Structure 1
Amino acid sequence: MQMTDVANVQGLEISHEGHRTRLKWHRLRKRFADPLFSAEVMAEGFAAGASMELDLRVRADGGFVVLHDRELEGETTGHGPIAEKSIDDFSGVLMKEGGRPLILSEDLAAMMQSTHPDALLQFDMKDDYEAIGAKGIEHLAAHFRDVAASVIVSGGSLDLIVAVKEKLPHLLRGIDPTDKLYDIWKANGWKAVEAELRADLTGPTEPDTVYLHWRLILDAAKEGLDMIALCQDHGKRVDAWTFTLKDPEAGFSEEEWLNFSALMALKPDQITTDEAPATERAWRRRINE
Structure 2
Amino acid sequence: MPMTKLLDAQGLEILHEGHRTRLKWHRLRKRFADPLFSAEVMAEGFAAGASMELDLRVRADGGFVVLHDEELEGETTGHGPIVKKSVADLRDIRMKQGGRPLILSEDLAAMMQSTHPAALLQFDMKDDYEAIGAGGIEHLAEHFRDIAASVIISGGSLDLIVAVRQKLPHLLRGIDPTDKLYDLWRASGWKAVEIALRADLSGPTEPDTVYLHWPLILDAAREGLDMIALCHDHGRRVDAWTFTLKNAEAGFSEEEWLNFRALMALKPDQITTDEAPATERAWRRRVAS
What TM-score do you get using the length of structure 1 for normalisation?
0.98
Instruction: Tell me which residue corresponds to 1:74.
Output: 74
Contact 2:26 2:272 in 1 (8 A): yes
Q: How does 1:125-204 map to 2 (within 5 A)?
A: 125-147=125-147, 150-204=150-204
Unaligned runs of 5+ in 1: none
Quick one: which amino acid aligns to residue 174 of structure 1?
G
Once structures 1 and 2 are overlaid, which stretch shifts more, 49-58 or 144-153?
A: 144-153
Q: Following the alignment from structure 1 to structure 2, what is the Cα–Cα distance between the partners of residues 219 and 85? A: 41
8 Å contact from structure 1 (residues 22, 270) kept in 2: yes
Matched, 1:237 2:237: yes
Q: Which runs of 5+ in 2 are unaligned?
A: none
Judge conservation of contact 1:60–1:82 (CA < 8 Å) in 2. yes
Q: In percent, how many aligned pairs have the same letter?
A: 86
Superposed structure 1 runs of 4+ greater than 2 Å apart: 1-4
1:167-191 deviation per Cα after TM superposition (whole angstroms, max 9, x unaligned):
0000000000000000000000000
* 1:92, distance to aligned residue in structure 2 (A): 1.1
Q: Secondary structure at the match of 1:54?
A: strand
Q: Which residue of 1 aligns with 2:60?
A: 60
Q: Where do residues 1-289 of structure 1 align in structure 2 (5 Å cutoff)?
A: 1=3, 3=5, 8=8, 10-147=10-147, 150-289=150-289
**Secondary structure at the counterpart of residue 14 of structure 2:** strand
The whole-number CA distance in structure 1 between the counterparts of 2:90 and 2:196 is 40
Q: CA RMSD in A?
A: 1.1
Conserved 8 A contact 2:112-2:148:
no
TM-score, length-scaled by structure 2 = 0.98
Number of positions where the alignment pairs a residue of Structure 1 with one of Structure 2: 287
User: Residue 147 of structure 1: CA displacement?
Assistant: 2.0
Q: How far apart, CA to CA, are the structure 1 residues paired with 2:211 and 2:277?
A: 21
Q: Would you say the 8 A contact 1:137–1:163 is kept in 2?
A: yes
Change (3 A) 1:108 1:10: same
C-alpha separation in 2, matches of 1:125 and 1:3: 32
Q: 1:91-149 CA deviation, whole Å, 9 max, x = no partner?
A: 21000000000000000000000000000000000000000000000000000001275
Matches of 2:8 and 2:107, distance apart in 1:
28
Residues 245-275 of structure 1 deviation map (CA, whole Å, 9 limit, x = unaligned): 0000000000000000000000000000000
